[in-house]
Amino acid sequence: MIINNIIKKNLLSEGKTKKIYETNHPLKVLIQYKDHITAFNGLKNKFLQKKGHLTNEISSLIFEFINSCKIKTHFIRKFNKIEQLCYKVNMIPLEFVVRNIVSGSLSRRLGIKEGEHISNAIFEIFYKNDELKDPLINDHHVVFLKIISYEELNTIFRIISHLNCILKSFFLDKNIILVDFKIEFGKNHNNEILLSDEISPDTCRLWDKKTMKKLDKDIFRIGFDENMLDIYMEILKRLNVG
Ligand code: TMP
Ligand code: ASP
């Protein structure tokens, strides 16, 4: 298929929820969102029709907003229902988690009940390594492992601090509390650090401001699988209204 001179070429890689295709442009790739939802490192894995379409739409809207705030990302534009045109990056094998409210693994790790407000926004780093089950590590581990330098980590922390501010108010405008989120970064051909991957109810905890109802993948993690499409549609509706 040719759209605006972009031609989809060979499959470059396939993950649990996405496929990446090369294109005729050496610096651009197509990222396809699959109709799969997974949790617990893929242990729970379900086919969910239309899910790829919904998460592509949601993540595209959020990245359009982030681009408009002048944060450098891999995202160029939504290409079609299930694909985005993005800059090609080498992914940095780290997951950065930002927490505004205690939930999930932080609640379990520190024995603090879910829902407590965190005034200083906690930043965490997880090492993406399936064999080790993505352990929590710190900045010194990252440098010791030669993944990125202290200087690059500082750049990333500056970006995520800014990102947290703009995303909190972006969601609050839609009556959603941004409890926490996970983001990943990649490096482009110039070694520049770009915010990459996906931002959606799969990678954030989003609570309704009035009812505190969960509007994210925790619904699937808990086991209410059949409600997940409604959650994506509710988030999409709110993003489109604002
Ligand atoms: P956690 O409380 O389970 O550590 O999750 C923190 C945030 O990161 C939450 O918004 C969900 C998100 N997340 C992912 O996007 N992918 C993952 O593999 C994990 C474990 C969490
Ligand atoms: N993203 C991970 C998985 O797909 C885990 C999670 O989000 O809970 O398995």
* pLDDT, tens digit, 9 for 90 and up, residues 108-131: 999 999 999 999 999 999 999 999
**Is the pLDDT reported for residue 4 higher than 80?**
no
Of all atoms in ligand 2, which is nearest to the CA of residue 16?
Answer: 4
Q: Is the distance from the beta carbon of residue 42 to the nearest atom of ligand 2 less than 6 Å?
A: yes
Mean pLDDT score of the chain, rounded to an integer? 96
Distance from C-alpha of 7 to C-alpha of 5, rounded to nearest angstrom: 6
**Tens digits of residue pLDDT in 152-206:** 999 999 999 999 999 999 999 999 999 999 999 999 999 999 999 999 999 999 9
Q: Where are the alpha helices (DSSP H) in 69-194?
A: 104-110, 139-144, 150-172
**AA identity, residue 14:** E
**Tens digits of residue pLDDT in 127-161:** 999 999 999 999 999 999 999 999 999 999 999 99
Please report, for residues 46, 98, 192, the alpha-carbon distance to residue 240 in angstroms, rounded to integers and kept in the order given: 27, 25, 31
Residue 123 CA to ligand 1 centre (angstroms): 12
Whole-structure pTM value: 0.96
Instruction: Point out the ligand nearest to the CA of residue 97.
Output: 1
